[in-house]
């Protein structure tokens, strides 16, 4: 879900805007052609364990190493 995350981190449009610099690299998962703002936060981010970089599930060879880590 999103409610717990967004109560502190703001709405998804603001998050995508904050990471807008990544759009030039086609690397902003919050503004992705695949799901972007319709993704639930916990599909990639986890509060109590390592997060999952869902992009690398399909784009393993296309994702630069610096993007391989999801906060």
Q: What is the pTM of this model?
A: 0.65
What is the chain's mean pLDDT, rounded? Answer: 78
29-54: average pLDDT: 81
pLDDT score for 71: 57
Asked if 67 and 44 touch (Cβ cutoff 8 Å), the reply is: no
pLDDT confidence tier of residue 66, bands split at 50, 70 and 90: low
Q: Is the pLDDT of residue 41 over 80?
A: yes
Q: Break the chain into its structural domains and give their ranges.
A: 3-67
Asked if 36 and 44 touch (Cβ cutoff 8 Å), the reply is: no
18-28: average pLDDT: 79
34-55: average pLDDT: 81
């Amino acid at each position: 879900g999103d409610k717990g995350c967004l109560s502190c981190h703001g709405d998804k449009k603001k998050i995508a805007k904050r990471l807008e610099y990544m759009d030039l690299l086609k690397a902003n998962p919050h503004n992705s052609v695949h799901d972007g703002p319709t993704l639930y936060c916990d599909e990639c981010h986890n509060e109590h364990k390592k997060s999952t970089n869902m992009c690398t599930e399909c784009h393993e060879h296309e994702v630069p190493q610096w993007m391989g880590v999801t906060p």
